[in-house]
């Protein structure tokens, strides 16, 4: 998936909610006016420091060296100490009757740190150093043959040789065992910081970020998963049967979890690369988007311009000149960079950028639409106050660009000249299968990553059981298993960027729900009649105006208010994704009639 936030965003742009905090002694002299003055100082201070910290983080990821890592760690420690100081100061206003907007900002401030550092200066510095080291270890990771993630991922996505796939899968996981002790130490320090703020652990703190009590969020996530699980189960059953035909049922057993190395992706989180093995054989007239891009002489700049063109077609303002001057669009040959695609908001005004090692492929074309969604969102809420310059919740920020990618239909491709004619309905199952292998297959992975971290933070999992717990959750939710024996010395979670990078992952699960909900609402506003998977809102300025109103709200209101502003409902709903893939579900159920499903 795509990283969407700066390293420093964790320190200052979190989303608040109803947290279970302990109430310290309140100073009798504290007043509402004191609280207002305090908050103004906090927001002013963060806004002033933010630009420098953002630029240091940008350099740290674009020039990965020991020196830049040290600089990032220093700035991170300084901001972390400031955030801890302000979060602790905010506690003195806990028992005051504050205006709702001010009370919410107080909670946002206390919840703003992804990894809350303790007040102790030594612990604070150590947390920053470990975090920076983990990020650098991942960015510079190489196997024993000197192969980095990009090279190994290409093997995973293109090879049909199970031995080569297993070798690539195992090789990448040699980078992460060295992270385990550092990660465990980081967990201890961060938990100490969370407890100082009144939370039981970091996981409870993260779950408090959704405008509801932490325990209620667990229930909400399970409810959403329950809505979409039957669709995933049908897809899993079909994919396993087809892989059994390809590799033999000794390797892919018909009633067991699928070996993770056979699903076309380094983490088995999306399965689009195995389409040829599992897709319908009679797919009707179709197209290859990568070939269309190459045929039409698309280079990387043209891909970015086209992605920007979707948003401007909705009436949104063009990206500034500095975006084109300061972004990193392709991988440099002369230095190590963190290639994980990301969108950056450098000054909380107009200096927005992306960092991406782009190639002319269908996947990167879609990723560009996604990343620019972050940038347009960032610019839309730039006039909000500092703590409100963020998504309504972290799932919103991921969903905005992805909702746009759902409009990248054949009708859209025809409008921009990549397709001469729109394929008929006979090709819809093929198109839906391709998308389901990425979108639907991802859902349980998106859910379980933070389920694992919640268990790490609350002590259910210890360093000795980190790996065992990881694979237990993957089998439970995904029906995917390790392709070889893994022992307690392994640290397979660390082979996924978001673990050493300390990026909360529930946002991606929520985004996969919300993007379809946004898409359905947009298509309804556009007056579209027909199947959701055929709808594009490209060029519809009425939809764009309503869309932008939601974006402009940022985090100024609880997320149900923002959701209602665009969709008319205050509840996240997985039924839109079920409706979108309804024709495919019928097809899958027919194919699975005589198969043993489940694991």
Residue 284: the pLDDT is 60
Residue 31: the pLDDT is 93
The pLDDT confidence band at residue 440, using thresholds 50, 70 and 90, is very high
Distance CA 388, CA 382 (A): 9
Q: What is the pLDDT of residues 157-177, one digit of tens each?
A: 999 999 999 999 999 999 999
Q: What is the pLDDT of residues 465-508, one digit of tens each?
A: 999 999 999 999 999 999 999 998 999 999 999 999 999 999 99
Using DSSP's 3-state secondary structure scheme, residue 259 falls into strand
The pLDDT confidence band at residue 292, using thresholds 50, 70 and 90, is very high
Residue 13: the pLDDT is 33
The pLDDT confidence band at residue 28, using thresholds 50, 70 and 90, is low
The pLDDT confidence band at residue 361, using thresholds 50, 70 and 90, is very high
Has residue 254 got a pLDDT over 50?
yes
Q: β-pairing, 352-355 with 342-345?
A: antiparallel
Has residue 411 got a pLDDT over 90?
yes
φ/ψ of 465, rounded to 5, equals -115, 10
Using DSSP's 3-state secondary structure scheme, residue 24 falls into coil
Residue 82: the pLDDT is 87
Residues with catalytic annotation? 371, 498
What mean pLDDT is predicted for residues 575-595?
97
Has residue 405 got a pLDDT over 80?
yes
Residue 242: the pLDDT is 97
Residue 285: the pLDDT is 64
What mean pLDDT is predicted for residues 201-207?
95
DSSP codes of every residue in 77-106? HHHHHHHHHHHHHHGGGTTS---HHHHHHH
Residue 378: the pLDDT is 96
What are the residues facing 414 on neighbouring strands?
none
Contacts for 416-424: CB closer than 8 Å, 24+ residues apart: 416/306, 416/309, 416/538, 417/296, 418/289, 418/292, 418/293, 418/296, 419/287, 419/292, 423/284, 423/285, 423/286, 423/287, 424/284, 424/285
DSSP codes of every residue in 414-468? HHTTS-SS---GGGHHHHHHHHHHHHHHHHHHHHHHHHHHHHHHTTSS-TTTHHH
Has residue 20 got a pLDDT over 70?
no
Residue 303 burial (CB < 10 Å; 0-12/13-18/19+)? Answer: buried
Has residue 121 got a pLDDT over 90?
no
Residue 198: the pLDDT is 85
pTM for the whole structure? 0.88
| Three-class DSSP labels, 364-405 | HHHHHHHHHHHHHHHHHCCCCCHHHCCCCCHHHHHHHHHHHH
Has residue 5 got a pLDDT over 50?
no
Residue 117: the pLDDT is 84
Has residue 325 got a pLDDT over 90?
yes
Neighbouring C-beta atoms of residue 583, cutoff 10 Å: 16
Residue 494: the pLDDT is 97
Residue 14: the pLDDT is 29
Has residue 19 got a pLDDT over 90?
no
Distance CA 587, CA 294 (A): 32
Has residue 112 got a pLDDT over 70?
yes
Neighbouring C-beta atoms of residue 118, cutoff 10 Å: 22
Has residue 22 got a pLDDT over 80?
no
Distance CA 280, CA 508 (A): 28
Distance CA 174, CA 439 (A): 28
**Tokens standing for residue 390:** 């963020």
What mean pLDDT is predicted for residues 252-274?
96
What mean pLDDT is predicted for residues 304-324?
97
DSSP codes of every residue in 316-363? PPPPPHHHHHH-B-S--SSS----S-EEEESSSSS-EEEE----SSHH
What mean pLDDT is predicted for residues 18-32?
51
Residue 27: the pLDDT is 45
What mean pLDDT is predicted for residues 325-330?
95
Segments making up each domain of the chain, as ranges: 9-141+179-207, 210-286+431-504+569-599, 287-422+511-568
What mean pLDDT is predicted for residues 133-140?
92
CA 357 to chain centre: 18
538 contacts 519 by C-beta, under 8 angstroms: no
Residue with tokens 């020196």: 67
Which segment, 108-117, 140-149, 422-431, is predicted with the most confidence on average? 140-149
170 contacts 144 by C-beta, under 8 angstroms: no
Helix or strand holding residue 480 (H, E): strand 480-481
What DSSP character marks residue 274? G
507 contacts 398 by C-beta, under 8 angstroms: yes
Q: Render the burial of 531-570: b for 16+ CB within 10 Å, e for the rest.
A: ebbebbbbbbeebbebbbebbbbbbbbbbbebbebbbeee
What are the residues facing 353 on neighbouring strands?
344
491 contacts 186 by C-beta, under 8 angstroms: no
What mean pLDDT is predicted for residues 432-445?
96
Q: Enumerate residues 6+ apart whose C-beta is below 8 A from 508.
A: 1, 395, 398, 442, 446
Distance CA 491, CA 495 (A): 8
Q: What is the pLDDT of residues 335-345, one digit of tens each?
A: 888 888 999 99
Has residue 265 got a pLDDT over 70?
yes
Residue 2: the pLDDT is 40
Distance CA 377, CA 386 (A): 15
Which segment, 16-20, 95-99, 563-567, is predicted with the most confidence on average? 563-567
Residue 87: the pLDDT is 86
């Amino acid at each position: 998936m795509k990283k969407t936030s700066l390293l420093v965003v964790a320190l200052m742009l979190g989303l608040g909610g109803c947290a279970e905090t302990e109430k310290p002694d309140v100073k009798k002299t504290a007043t509402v006016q004191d609280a207002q003055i305090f908050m103004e100082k906090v927001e002013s201070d963060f806004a002033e420091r933010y630009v420098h910290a953002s630029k240091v983080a940008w350099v740290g990821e674009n020039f990965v060296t020991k020196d830049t890592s040290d600089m990032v760690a220093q700035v991170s420690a300084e901001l972390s100490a400031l955030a801890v100081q302000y979060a602790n100061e905010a506690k003195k206003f806990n028992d005051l009757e504050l205006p709702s907007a001010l009370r919410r900002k107080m909670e946002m401030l206390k919840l703003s740190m992804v990894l809350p550092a303790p007040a102790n200066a030594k612990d604070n510095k150590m947390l920053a150093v470990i975090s920076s080291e983990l990020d650098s270890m991942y960015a510079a990771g190489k196997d024993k043959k000197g192969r980095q993630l990009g090279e190994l991922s290409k093997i995973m996505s293109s090879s049909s040789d199970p031995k080569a796939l297993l070798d690539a899968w195992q090789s990448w996981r040699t980078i992460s065992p060295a992270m385990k002790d550092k990660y465990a130490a980081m967990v201890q320090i961060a938990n100490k910081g969370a407890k100082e703020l009144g939370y039981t652990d970091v996981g409870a703190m993260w779950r408090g970020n959704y405008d509801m009590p932490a325990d209620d969020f667990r229930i909400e996530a399970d409810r959403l998963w329950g809505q979409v699980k039957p669709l995933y189960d049908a897809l899993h059953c079909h994919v396993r049967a087809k892989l059994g035909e390809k590799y033999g049922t000794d390797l892919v057993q018909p009633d067991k979890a699928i070996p993770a190395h056979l699903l076309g992706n380094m983490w088995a989180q999306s399965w689009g690369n195995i389409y040829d093995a599992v897709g319908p054989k009679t797919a009707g007239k179709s197209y290859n988007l990568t070939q269309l891009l190459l045929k039409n002489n698309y280079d990387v700049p043209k891909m970015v311009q086209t992605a920007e063109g979707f948003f401007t077609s909705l009436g949104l303002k063009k990206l500034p000149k500095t975006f084109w001057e300061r972004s990193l669009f392709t991988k440099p040959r002369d230095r190590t960079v963190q290639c994980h695609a990301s969108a950056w908001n450098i000054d909380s005004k107009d200096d927005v950028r992306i960092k991406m090692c782009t190639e002319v492929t269908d996947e990167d074309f879609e990723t560009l639409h996604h990343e620019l969604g972050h940038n347009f969102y960032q610019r839309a809420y730039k006039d909000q106050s500092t703590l409100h310059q963020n998504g309504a919740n972290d799932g919103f920020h991921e969903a905005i660009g992805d909702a746009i990618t759902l409009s990248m239909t054949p009708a859209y491709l025809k409008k921009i000249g990549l397709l001469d004619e729109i394929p008929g309905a006979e090709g819809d199952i093929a198109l839906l299968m391709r998308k389901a292998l990425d979108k639907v297959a991802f859902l349980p992975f998106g859910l379980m990553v933070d389920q694992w971290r919640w268990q790490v933070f609350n002590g259910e999992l210890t360093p000795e059981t980190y790996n065992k717990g990881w694979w237990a959750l993957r089998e439970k939710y995904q029906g995917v298993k390790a392709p070889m024996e893994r022992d307690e010395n392994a640290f397979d979670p660390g082979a996924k960027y978001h673990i050493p990078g300390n990026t909360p992952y529930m946002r991606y699960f929520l985004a996969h729900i919300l993007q379809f909900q946004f898409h359905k609402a947009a298509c309804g506003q556009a007056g579209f009649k027909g199947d959701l998977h055929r709808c594009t809102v490209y060029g519809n300025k009425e939809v764009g105006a309503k869309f932008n109103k939601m974006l402009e709200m940022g985090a100024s209101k609880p997320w149900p208010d923002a959701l209602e502003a665009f969709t008319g409902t205050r509840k996240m709903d997985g039924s839109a994704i079920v409706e979108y893939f309804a024709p495919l579900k019928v097809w899958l159920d027919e194919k699975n009639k005589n198969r043993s499903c489940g694991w």
